Structure 1
Amino acid sequence: MSARKKALVGLASAALVVGFTGTASAGSYNGKCESAGGGEVCIYRLANYGGGLYDTLYSKTTYSGSTYYGTSTAIDNTMSSVKNMDPDTLVYFYQYSGYTGALTGIPPGEQINQVPNDNTASSHCFGSNSACPN
């Protein structure tokens, strides 16, 4: 095989590897509740994990302006159930923006069908975030 063909085969193989590894990662705000690549927090509008879904890999100091995926429904003070898809990290939910107010912790890999203080969360923070007061 010529050097040029070997180089093209090598590039094609590398592209395949990148393509496969890229699809395994969780994607923030893509409408899918995923755990690959570290894990997401998934917020649902209704009990029993129904209604709109908001999925994110990141801590949110405020839900103001954020909506459930594919809708115009605001998530601020409207969630009823939640899943912590991160296998290693506790997620804290706060009553008010800026990580303030009443606190509810969701352990790694856990889900809560009826969130305490239903419909009152305005921010959340992954426990591994040093800015997270807990």
Structure 2
Amino acid sequence: MNPPGRFELTRVPGVGPDTSILGELAGSVVVEIGCGSGHNIAHLVAHHDAVGIGIDHDPAKIHRARTFYGHIPGLQFMHDDAEQNLCRLAPGSVDVIVSIFGALSFTDDLRSLLRACSRALAPHGRLLVTLRADDDHDQVTLLRHR
């Protein structure tokens, strides 16, 4: 399967910011926590020359992501806990972390997961989070690491 032509940040395709919100991605290490079927991380790797890691706790979603996009060079999918995986990465080794209705939406320990994100992010790295605000709106937030 070819990666999607657009990065989707909301539940409505074509609505919301595009990848320019993340800055230059060529050569960047991007991690998507709660990647689901891998559509967004596949887009970032294939269309923006990033290196990508998609992490999801659901083995069926990781299987689907690998089936769809496992052939894309520079992209790997991991069936893992987001926090534990981020803690195993070298500190400061990730340029961008995204959670689009992903791990940051479902964690029981938000502080601990945010600490793991902070540890993994490089100086001036970016954390992009989309949360469901209500039935009609989504909240997109971009944070820059110190």
TM-score range for the pair, normalised by the shorter chain length:
under 0.3
Task: Name the TM-score, length of structure 1 as normaliser.
Answer: 0.27
Task: Name the TM-score, length of structure 2 as normaliser.
Answer: 0.26
The answer to which structure has the higher helix fraction is 2
Q: Which has the larger radius of gyration?
A: 1
